[in-house]
Amino acid sequence: MSMKNRTAGVLIGILAVVCLGLIFSAVYPLTTSDPHAATPPGDRFTVSDTDSYTASGRLVVDGQVRLAFEGFVTSDGVWYQKVVDDDVVSEAYQPTANETVYHRLSIEGSDEAKQRRELITEDEGRELVREGRNGERATFIVEENGTGVTQPVSGTASVFVNSLFLAGYEAKRRDSSAVTVYEPQSGWYDGLETYHITGASGTVRADTDTHVVKSADVTWDVTAPAGTYAEYVLVASLTDEPTSYRISFEFDQSGSDPQRPTWVGETDST
C-alpha cells in the first residue's frame, strides 16, 4: 500500500495544487473506521479448526497474482501445500504425522536459487536429494525430518482470511440458516496509516454462528496514505495510486481424496 514513485517530472505539478492542498489540509474525512475494531473479536472471520479440509486462495494486486496457495489436510494426518510467491513455487507433503516431509522448490533466478540451495545444505534437518535446472529456473527436491512438524495449511489459509480485514463488512443476507453473506464497504480506514477504499465489491460467505469463512471473492481499490482529503487528492493525482486488490478464498470441509505428489521420493540427479 506504499506510494508508488513516478518520474521526477511529475513533481512540477505539485506547485499547481499546493494552494488547493493548503485549503484542504485541515479538512479530514468525516469519519474513519478501524476495520478490526469495528468488528468484535467473537464476530470476526476465521478459519475452521476441523481436521479434514481442502483450501485455496489468491491475492491479485494491480492485475498480477502476488500470492496463491492450495492445500489439503486429512483426519489421519496427511497434508499437502503449494504456495506460489512471485518467482518461487514451493510444495510440501507429509504422508503421516512425524514422517518425512517432502519439499519441492522451483525458483526463478540464479542468485536466488544459489542462496536457497545454501540454506538447504546448511540445515542439518534437511537433505537435498535431487536438483535440476531449466534455463533460469532451478528445482530442488528436499527431504526433512518430520518429527514435530505441524501442518502449515491452516496458517496459510489464515493469511488470506486475515487479509479480508483491510475493509469493513456489512451482513447483507443469509444463503441458508447456517451461512451469512457479507459485502465489503468503501470508506476511510485507520491502520498504520489512514487509507481510502473505493469500488469495494464482492462477497464473503461465512458460517452464521462461528464466522468460519466458506468462500470469498472481493475487490477494492486502496489509496494510501490518505489522512486528509488533501493528501488523498495529492496521492491519487501524483502517483500510481490507487492500488487494486482482489482476494479470493475457498474452503471445503468435506475434504478430498488426497493424492501423493508424483515428485515425492525422486532421488536421481539431473
d(CA 158, CA 250): 12
The pLDDT assigned to 17 comes to 36
Q: Do residues 45 and 207 lie in contact, with contact meaning Cβ atoms separated by under 8 Å? A: no
Q: Which residues pair with 72 in a beta bridge?
A: 54, 80
Q: What is the pLDDT of residue 256?
A: 63
Looking at residue 23, its pLDDT comes to: 33
**Average pLDDT along the chain, 270 residues, taken 10 residues at a time:** 39 35 36 50 78 93 92 91 91 90 90 88 90 89 89 92 90 82 89 84 93 95 70 60 89 78 70
pTM over 0.85: no
What local confidence, expressed as pLDDT, does residue 227 receive?
61
Domain boundaries, the chain: 17-47+155-252, 65-149
Dist. CA 58–CA 217, nearest whole Å: 9
* CA distance linking residue 232 with residue 206, whole number of Å: 33
